[in-house]
């Protein structure tokens, strides 16, 4: 079945770095745009970043621009989020999510991963 | 940026009730509107896309409507498993999407 599984979360000090991974299965990963979305404790959903199906274009929320980098390895069916210069306000559960339509045609998300927790604290 | 405002922020209802949640966009978004359900400690689940189309496997008790700036999610015959938080999301500005603040549906 279609599945997304995140990993790589943990506790990191302010200013530190972390790389999240999202392993995809059950669909043709290389045909779909992918997103990262986060949710701070007790708060709502915040879109973080997007990468086109072929990796050719990337977009970021202003809150993470210049600090986070989204990437993908279509040969490994894996999405990544490199997070640098982490701040306390980056503490959240990070979800990867799949576009509902292929080839990065404007679409809603259809599948979400289970999430991975990132805590930024000294 | 397109802002999404949901109302109410919280809602109490009884098993068997029919409820409606509203989502308003700060500018017209055609029908580029999705709804998600999230239970405590779980990932969001996709319910509706294109304002009124059900995702695969979602029961017909969920329905969506609207176009432009005003949208609704209606849940009929509430069951215990329906009590959750619901979010709307606009993707008119895809890929830079935005979410509403959420509506918490609680058991009365």
Helix (H, G, I), strand (E, B) or coil at B82: helix
- Tell me the pairing of strands B33-38 and B45-49: antiparallel
SS3 A120: strand
Residue of B nearest to A42 (CA): B40
Closest residue on chain B to A109 (Cα): B46
Check: CB of residue A21 under 8 Å from CB of residue A8: yes
- With 80 as the cut, is the pLDDT of residue A28 above it? yes
Residues of B in contact with A114 (CB under 8 A): 42-43
CB contact under 8 A, B46 and A106: no
For B43, the closest of A35, A108, A113 (CB atoms) is A113
Which of A33, A34, A45 should be substituted to probe chain B, the one whose Cβ sees the most B Cβ atoms within 10 Å? A45
What would the pLDDT profile of A69-119 be if each residue is shown by its tens digit?
A: 999 999 999 999 999 999 999 999 999 999 999 887 889 999 999 999 999
DSSP string for B63-87: EEEEETTEEEEEE-S--GGG-SEEE
Backbone angles phi, psi at B81, to 5 degrees: -75, -10
Q: How far is B15 from chain A (nearest CA, A)?
A: 25
Cα–Cα distance, B106 to B81 (Å, whole number): 11
pLDDT in tens, B15-62: 999 999 999 999 999 999 999 999 999 999 999 999 999 999 999 999
The proportion of chain A whose per-residue pLDDT surpasses 70, expressed as a percent, equals: 100
Buried b (16+ CB within 10 A) or exposed e, A73-87: eeeebbbbbebeebe
Inter-residue contact B45 to B35 (CB < 8 Å): no
CB–CB of B99 and A46 under 8 A? yes
Instruction: Report pLDDT for A106.
Output: 87
Residue A9 — φ and ψ, nearest 5°?
-70, 170
């Amino acid at each position: 079945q279609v599945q997304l599984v995140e990993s790589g979360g943990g506790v990191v000090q302010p200013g530190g770095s972390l790389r999240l991974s999202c392993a995809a299965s059950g669909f043709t990963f290389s045909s779909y745009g992918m997103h990262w979305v986060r949710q701070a404790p007790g708060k709502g959903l915040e879109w973080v970043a997007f990468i086109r199906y072929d990796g050719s274009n990337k977009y970021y929320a202003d809150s993470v621009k210049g600090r986070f980098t989204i990437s993908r390895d279509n040969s490994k069916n894996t999405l990544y989020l490199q997070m640098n210069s982490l701040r306390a306000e980056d503490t959240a559960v990070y979800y990867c999510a799949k576009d509902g339509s292929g080839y990065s045609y404007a679409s809603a998300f259809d599948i979400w991963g289970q999430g991975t927790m990132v805590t930024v604290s000294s | 940026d397109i802002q999404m405002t949901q109302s109410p922020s919280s809602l109490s209802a009884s098993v068997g009730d029919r409820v409606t949640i509203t989502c308003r966009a700060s500018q017209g978004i055609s029908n580029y509107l999705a709804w998600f359900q999230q239970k405590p400690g779980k990932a969001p689940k996709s319910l509706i896309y294109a304002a009124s189309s059900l995702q695969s496997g979602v029961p017909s008790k969920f329905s969506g409507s609207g176009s432009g700036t005003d949208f609704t999610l209606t849940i009929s015959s509430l069951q215990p498993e329906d009590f959750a938080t619901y979010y709307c999301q606009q993707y008119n500005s895809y890929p830079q999407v935005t979410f509403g603040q959420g509506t918490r549906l609680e058991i009365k």
